[in-house]
Amino acid sequence: MTTLTSKTPAATPEPVAAGSGPWRLARAELRRRTSAKISLVIVALFAVMAIAAPLLSALGGWSPEEFDKTAVDPYLGGQPIGALGGISADHWLGVEPVTGRDLFARVVHGAQVSLLIAFAATAIVVIAGTAAGVAAGYFGGRVDAVLSRIMDLTMSFPSLIFMIAMMSVAKDVNRILLMTAVIGLFGWPGIARVVRGQTLSLKHREYVDAARVGGSGPWRILTRDILPGVAGPVIAYTTLIIPGMIATEAALSYLGVGVRPPTPSWGQMIAESVAFYDTDPMYFVIPSTCLFLTVLAFTLLGDALRDILDPRGSRT
């Protein structure tokens, strides 16, 4: 007697849609997160504000260095005329006390200065840190030892004190270039350590061994196999260090060793507004709000990208 047995087909995974790589999945995940979408809108808004600062200040009718003595009351210590710091059709965000300079023009130009320094310093940090981390992790040996000791030395150095000293001593130089270089000098070891750890994990993978056996040289392996593997954590880390760069620039300008007047900067405006927070709180509130929203938006966006692109790192 023959027994017939029916075999049920094994469950097969659902096919992945064509073109649905990690970046497509990351974009889809970002679209599902409300906080990430709001943060992306805020980041884009301030980025456009920085890029179009000359056009926006021209639309407002005032340059950031232009005085308007008619907007302040000389008999009240130069207090802005009108409510909320002199907000009017002529001055959309009010004016500075004493000088009468337009706050809208100075805020948008301050965004340009602050974001330019932050993005340029971040570019230095990412390029230098990624190169050092990949070299240390892939080549190992003496290269790893030397680069790791340089990372330790740089991270143990009192960077803020050195920044203040350098910015105080160097007087006849371009302050924006100097701030970018000094901030970037001390920021690369953090991302270098992240990339080094990822490279140590990737260089023993099967596809890297296959490329090595197939005759590929170190440069081809690094650019074709290692760098794409560390791109996700690097992008997530980059978004997280940008708010730190913005805050560092604001702190140096607040301490008086950053961007010098009349060039506007959010940190500089906050420092100048301290003397008027009782009589003209809007002078303090406006640049502080811009700084707070920018740092918060980049932080939330960076957290979302880290959870999506580097989920293992976000759990450690």
Model confidence at 316, in pLDDT bands (50, 70, 90)?
very low
- The closest of 232, 258, 262 to 245, measured between CA atoms, is 258
**CATH code where residue 136 lies:** 1.10.3720.10
Number of domains observed in the structure of the chain: 1
Give the whole-angstrom CA distance, residue 264 versus residue 268.
7
Residues 6 or more apart from 19 whose CB is under 8 A from it?
none
Residue 172 three-state SS: coil
How confident is the model at residue 119, as a pLDDT? 92
Specify the pLDDT at position 134.
93
User: Is the sign of the CA dihedral 98, 102, 107, 110 positive or negative?
Assistant: negative
Q: Which of 119-123, 224-228, 273-277, 310-314 has the lowest mean pLDDT?
A: 310-314
Q: What is the pLDDT of residue 21?
A: 53
Residue 132 within a domain = yes
Domain hosting residue 126, numbered range: 32-315
Q: What pLDDT is stored for residue 13 in this prediction?
A: 39
φ, ψ for residue 215, nearest 5 deg: 100, 5
Residue 6: inside a domain:
no
- ∠ at Cα 197 (193, 198), nearest 5°? 120
Question: For residues 258 and 250, what is the distance between their CA atoms, to the nearest angstrom?
Answer: 8
Q: Cβ of 241: how many Cβ atoms within 10 Å?
A: 22
Residue 305 confidence (pLDDT): 82
Q: How confident is the model at residue 61 (pLDDT cuts 50, 70, 90)?
A: confident
The per-residue pLDDT for 130 is 93
Higher pLDDT, 271 or 209: 271
Please report, for residues 181, 248, 297, the alpha-carbon distance to residue 117 in angstroms, rounded to integers and kept in the order given.
Answer: 9, 10, 18
312 confidence band (pLDDT: 50, 70, 90) = low
pLDDT in tens, 273-302: 888 888 888 999 999 999 999 999 999 888
Check if the beta carbon of residue 230 is closer than 8 Å to that of residue 195: yes
Q: What angle do CA 297, 300, 304 make, to 5 degrees?
A: 135
pLDDT at 7: 42
| Alpha helix ranges (H) inside 74-102 | none
Asked if the structure places residue 307 within a domain, the reply is yes
Mean of pLDDT values over 71-75: 85
> Is 45 inside a domain boundary?
yes
Query: What is the per-residue pLDDT across 162-208, written as a single tens digit (0 to 9) for each?
Result: 888 887 777 777 888 888 888 888 888 989 998 998 898 888 888 88
pLDDT in tens, 76-125: 878 888 888 888 888 889 899 888 899 999 999 999 998 999 999 999 99
Q: What is the pLDDT of residues 17-60, one digit of tens each?
A: 434 455 676 677 778 888 888 999 999 999 999 999 999 988 88
The token pair at 206 is: 């099967």
Q: pLDDT at position 310, please?
A: 64
Instruction: Please indicate, yes or no, if residue 284 is contained in any of the structural domains.
Output: yes
Q: How confident is the model at residue 210 (pLDDT cuts 50, 70, 90)?
A: confident
Contact 72, 138 (CB under 8 A): no
In a domain, 274, yes or no: yes
Report the distance separating Cα 292 and Cα 284, nearest Å.
12
Residue 135 binned pLDDT confidence (cut-offs 50, 70, 90)? very high
Residue 228 included in any domain: yes
Mean pLDDT across the chain = 83
Residue 20: per-residue pLDDT: 46
> Is 26 domain-assigned?
no
